Amino acid sequence: MMHPALAQEALASWNDTAAKARIMDFVKATTTEGSEGYVAPADRIAVFDNDGTLWSEQPVYNQLAFVFDRVKALAPEHPEWKTKEPYKSVLAGDLKGVAENGQKGLVDLLTVTHAGMTTDQFSKIVADWFASAKHPKTGMPYDEMTYLPMRELLDYLRANGFKTFVVSGGGVEFMRPMTEKMYGIPPEQVVGSTIATEYAMVGDVPVLNRLPKIDFVDDGKGKPVGINTFIGRKPIFVAGNSDGDYEMLRWVAARSPGFAMIVHHTDGDREVAYDRKSAVGKLDKALDEAGRRNWLVVDMKTDWNKVFAFER
C-alpha cells in the first residue's frame, strides 16, 4: 500500500479540491485493514472508459481518425470509392457527409479498414499509425493526448493494490497495442468491441484472420456484460465521461463499496468544453443522475491543474 505521505505527490496534477479528497478517502477506506469498507486486494478492481476518460476524443474519436486515414491509404486500390458513400465523404474530408450515412456507413468503414488481415498485421498497422499520426488541434502524437491526472490516478490506484482495466466501446485490438505504453495497462486487461476472428493456416503457419463482421459492441449496456464476461469480478471503482458509460456507472456504483466518477469536460482553453449536445462523447443523462446517485463529477477546469503532460 502507498505511504500516505506520497498521496499528494502521486496526484500532483489534481488540485486540492473535494474531488481529490473523495478519491483519496475511498482508497484509504478500502485499503485499511480493519476498516468497515476494507476490500481484499483480489477484489480491488477498477475499470476506466478510454475515449474522453483516459485520452482525448475531440474533434473525432481516435479510432475514427484512424479509419479515415486507412480509407485514404487504401483508396488507390478502390477507384470506385470516389463516387461511393461513405468513402466519398471520407476522401473529401466531409464529416457531415460521413455522419449522414448513419450506423450502416460506420460499420462499412470499420469492416473495410479493420478486417481482411491477420491479427498480427492489424496490430502493426495500428502501431505504425500511432507512431506517425498527429492530433488535428494540438499537432501532438495521439499517444501523447492522454490526460495526465487520469494516468496519475491509475498509478495511485495500482500503488494501493488495485488492478486497473480499460473497458471501452473502442475496438479492443485498436487499443491493446498502445495501452501498456500509455497507461501501464497490459493488453490482457483491456475490454473492448470486437470483430469476428477465425483460426486459419497460411501454408504451414497458423494465423488468426479478422473477418468483416462485428462480434461484440462494448458500449452502453454492453459494458457490464463485457466486464462480467472478460474480467469475471465486479469492480469497486469506475470512471467514465459520457452516456455510453451510464450502465457501467450504475452497475458498479450499485455495490457497496462502489465508487463512480465522471470526467466532465469543462475546460475550453486547455482541452474542449462539451457535454449535453456534443455529437462525440455526449454527457446528458449520466450528468443529470450523478448528483442523485452520489457519483463524483470531476470538473476538468477546476479539479485539474494540468490536463496534458506536454503543457508548459
pLDDT digits (tens, 9 = 90+) for 257-283: 999 999 999 999 999 999 999 999 999
Q: Is 132 exposed, middle or buried (0-12, 13-18, 19+ CB in 10 A)?
A: exposed
Which whole-number Å values give the CA distances from 87 to 61, 92, 97, in the listed order? 18, 9, 10
pLDDT tens digits, one per residue of 205-248: 999 999 999 999 999 999 999 999 999 999 999 999 999 999 99
Contact at 8 Å (CB) between 46 and 106?
Answer: no
Quote the pTM value: 0.95
Positions in the chain whose pLDDT score sits under 50: 1-5, 7-8
pLDDT at 5: 40
pLDDT at 251: 98
DSSP calls for the chain: ---GGGHHHHTTTB-SSHHHHHHHHHHHHHHSTTSTT---GGG-EEEE--BTTTB---SS-HHHHHHHHHHHHHGGG-GGGGTSTTHHHHHTT-HHHHHHTHHHHHHHHHHHHH-SEEHHHHHHHHHHHHHH-B-TTT--BGGG-B-HHHHHHHHHHHHTT-EEEEEEEEEHHHHHHHHHHHHS--GGGEEEEEEEEEEEEETTEEEEEEEEEEEE--STTHHHHHHHHHT-S--SEEEE-SGGGHHHHHHHHTSSS-EEEEEE---TTTS----TT-SSS--SHHHHHHHHHT-EEEEHHHHBS-SSTT--
Sorted by where each starts, the structural domains of the chain and their CATH numbers stand as 4-59+144-303 (3.40.50.1000), 62-132 (no CATH)
pLDDT at 183: 98
pLDDT at 3: 47
pLDDT at 10: 83
